[in-house]
Chains A and B, each alone.
Chain A
Amino acid sequence: MNQFKIPIGNAIEATIEFFVDHFSFATKAFAGIADNGISLMVSAMMFFPPWLLILVLSAIAWLLSRNRGITIFTMAGLALIWNLGLWAPTIDTLALVTIATLFSILIGVPLGILAALNNVFYRIVMPILDLMQTMPAFVYLIPAIPFFGLGPVAAIFATVIFSMPPAIRLTCLGIKQVPKELVEAADAFGSTKWQKLIKLQLPISTPTMMAGINQTIMLALSMVVIAAMIGAGGLGGEVWRAIQRLDPSKGFEAGLGIVIVAIVLDRIMQKLGGGSKKQQ
């Protein structure tokens, strides 16, 4: 076959190469610093004995959820992970998820607000989000490497891109769902756009935004696991190694660890989101 092929791939490759040629010195330097930051965070968490950290995390679960079941599950689940000898990779995973989620929220929530308030931006950003969410997650790993090198920073980059859409989408949705009469009332009293946002739209859309952040965390966790392929380490790394050695016992143990982390994060975040709903 010698047909003309539209050079989409070539164009993207050329673009990426251009950026790599001109910016990779900066992104590589950033990766170096970020790498240190992540190591610092991980070693800080590893500094404490596991049992102490388990207690602290359970206490946080209690404070955030006020739910006995979730607290007990957190304590028992983390203890099981420790017992299986997966403590260090779990901490790696938690650190990666935390950092990636923070970036996703910091970028995603403002973009969501902008999309809700500006129709032009909304029309531009929504198809991009559709694209970001349907593109297979693995694809993001490829360009991450030339910019950030193998390792956790590239993993975080890919994770942020993959996990940001729900934060944008649900922030936008939450604000658009604020009843028109309430917005009109705020207008009638002479509120500026900023006052309307801070005093009305954000507080009312909080439950929806929290649902978006919950999804972001779950996506970040799944992506961090996949990113083991480019050297992210953590529980995903254990699974990846088990695949290469065809070792089902290791694989399932690490998989169980991921499930426990996912359930703990999900339940706590859901409680957090539901908590502010009661006044409505």
Chain B
Amino acid sequence: MSEKIVVDNVYKIFGSHPEKILDLIDKGHTNEQILEETGHAVGVAGVSFTVEEGEILVVMGLSGSGKSTLVRCINRLIEPTAGKVIVDGVDVTQLTMDELLHFRQKHFGMVFQNFALFPHRTVLQNVAYGLEIQRVDPNTMRDKAMQALTQVGLKGWESNYPSQLSGGMQQRVGLARALALDADIMLMDEAFSALDPLIRRDMQDELLDLQERVQKTIVFISHDLDEAIKLGDRIVLMKDGRTVQVGTAEEILTNPANDYVARFVEEVDMTKIMTAESVMVKPSAIAYFKSDGPHAALRKMQKAGISSIFVRRDGKLIGMVTADDVAKIIKTDAKTLESILITGMQTVTRDTPAIELFPILAGINYPLAVVDDDGRLVGVIIKGSLLAGLAEGMQTGGAS
């Protein structure tokens, strides 16, 4: 492994005379003092770290910690006030505008929090954008874009427009757009933060799978410690534009550099903070009260390999039926599931603590439904998924 990116003492200060503020920062003035006295906002204050080739480095911090500004300093979407960014031995901060454009085309793929897909272009045209900019010939362009789309599992969607896709699929397009370039570095700015928790987890898994195959150097920005631990080979923890700690997840969890990190890490603790949301899974099948009769319901259960199925009407969870009951009424020519619908079963909300789920699950022999405030089914918890989710939590949290 070699150093792919070196971020060396980078500062970004917003205001009319940013250079004058550098001294104040070195003298130990806080960001609040500087803002009050000079009207300058400190984005990044003297950050240094390196990224090894082929690793995922997660820059992690709460909002306002300067992490998004920092990642934009790497490809100079935001011009750093001071400091160096060296990529493959080239000091990016010294490039002219023309050289910089060329450098971005060759080295940086970027994925954005709000996807930033071009609404007037099809999925394929979006993915091909970076290649189009480089004037790659149309056939190669199409092939590479299709290849990238296949990698993220969106083959067949190429002629749709982004607005026709779900959030998760849109971000896959964003990912494919960055992959199609063959750039060696991916900058991912809170790439999964705008997605539903379940989809976010899927996307994290897929990113790890993909990384096995493509071996890019990835700088991933996140505000979520769980995500940082899951994805990051190493983690840079930021606060107020400064690095608080750099290290592997293990190092940060077992040996927090100061109270701030320690408080952060405490929250990764097991059942107390694990909620229904973090251990639920997608239901493998749902029956629709209006359209599904006994035959359809039975078929769905057989296909999914389950013995009971939740029933939904107008988006709301209204009950469940079991395979045994359905089999009985199939003979009676019933057209709906009404006669065998089991209502009033226990449900939990997303933020029910995991610890409370055990006794509930012990008392029932079907999955536990997780519903939102409007009574919509958002996920289910089965005994297996609860244990697996907790085991994952124990592993990371148990280390402290």
Chain A neighbourhood of B114, CB < 8 A? 181
Given contacts A184-B77, A188-B75, A190-B105, contact A280 B163 (CB under 8 A): yes
Chain B residues 158 to 213 lying within 8 A of chain A, measured CB to CB, are 161, 163, 177, 181, 187
Does A187 lie within 8 Å of B130, measured CB to CB? no
Interface string of B129-150 (1 = CB under 8 A from A): 1101110000000000000000
Does A189 lie within 8 Å of B129, measured CB to CB? yes
Interface string of A101-126 (1 = CB under 8 A from B): 00000000000000000000000000
Does A189 lie within 8 Å of B118, measured CB to CB? no
Given contacts A185-B110, A204-B120, contact A190 B163 (CB under 8 A): no
Does A190 lie within 8 Å of B101, measured CB to CB? yes
Q: A185-B110, A199-B133 are in contact. List 18 more A-B contacts (CB 8 A).
A: A181-B112, A181-B116, A182-B116, A182-B118, A185-B112, A185-B116, A187-B104, A188-B75, A188-B104, A188-B108, A188-B110, A189-B105, A190-B102, A190-B103, A191-B101, A192-B133, A279-B163, A280-B163
CA distance A203 to B129 in the complex (A): 14
> Number of contacts between A and B (CB, 8 Å)?
62
Chain A residues 58 to 106 lying within 8 A of chain B, measured CB to CB, are none
B384 in the interface, Cβ–Cβ < 8 Å? no
B119 in the interface, Cβ–Cβ < 8 Å? yes
What's the nearest-Cβ distance from chain A to residue B112, in Å? Answer: 6
**Interface-central residue, B100, B108, B133, by most chain A CB under 10 Å:** B133
Does B77 lie within 8 Å of A188, measured CB to CB? yes
What's the nearest-Cβ distance from chain A to residue B69, in Å? Answer: 13
A264 in the interface, Cβ–Cβ < 8 Å? no
Does A279 lie within 8 Å of B101, measured CB to CB? no
Which chain A residue has the least Cβ–Cβ distance from B164? Answer: A279
Does A189 lie within 8 Å of B120, measured CB to CB? no
Interface string of B113-133 (1 = CB under 8 A from A): 010101110000000011011
A residues adjacent to B (C-beta < 8 A):
179, 181-182, 184-192, 195, 199-200, 203-204, 276, 279-280
Which chain B residue has the least Cβ–Cβ distance from A181? Answer: B116
Chain A neighbourhood of B105, CB < 8 A? 189-190
Does A184 lie within 8 Å of B120, measured CB to CB? no
Chain B neighbourhood of A200, CB < 8 A? 118
Instruction: List 12 A-B pairs, Cβ < 8 Å.
Output: A185-B112, A187-B77, A189-B129, A189-B177, A189-B181, A190-B108, A190-B130, A192-B101, A192-B133, A200-B118, A204-B120, A280-B120
Does B119 lie within 8 Å of A204, measured CB to CB? yes
**Interface-central residue, B114, B116, B119, B132, by most chain A CB under 10 Å:** B116
Chain B neighbourhood of A195, CB < 8 A? 133
Chain B neighbourhood of A185, CB < 8 A? 110, 112, 116, 118
Which chain B residue has the least Cβ–Cβ distance from A203? Answer: B120
Chain B residues 61 to 113 lying within 8 A of chain A, measured CB to CB, are 75, 77, 100-105, 108, 110, 112
CA distance A19 to B264 in the complex (A): 74
Which chain B residue has the least Cβ–Cβ distance from A280? Answer: B119
**Interface-central residue, A179, A184, A189, A192, by most chain B CB under 10 Å:** A189
CA distance A67 to B100 in the complex (A): 49
Chain A neighbourhood of B116, CB < 8 A? 179, 181-182, 184-185
What's the nearest-Cβ distance from chain A to residue B194, in Å? Answer: 11
Does A190 lie within 8 Å of B133, measured CB to CB? yes
**Interface-central residue, A188, A200, A280, by most chain B CB under 10 Å:** A188
CA distance A204 to B116 in the complex (A): 13
What's the nearest-Cβ distance from chain B to residue A235, in Å? Answer: 39
Chain A neighbourhood of B161, CB < 8 A? 279
Given contacts A181-B112, A279-B161, contact A190 B119 (CB under 8 A): no
Chain A neighbourhood of B163, CB < 8 A? 279-280
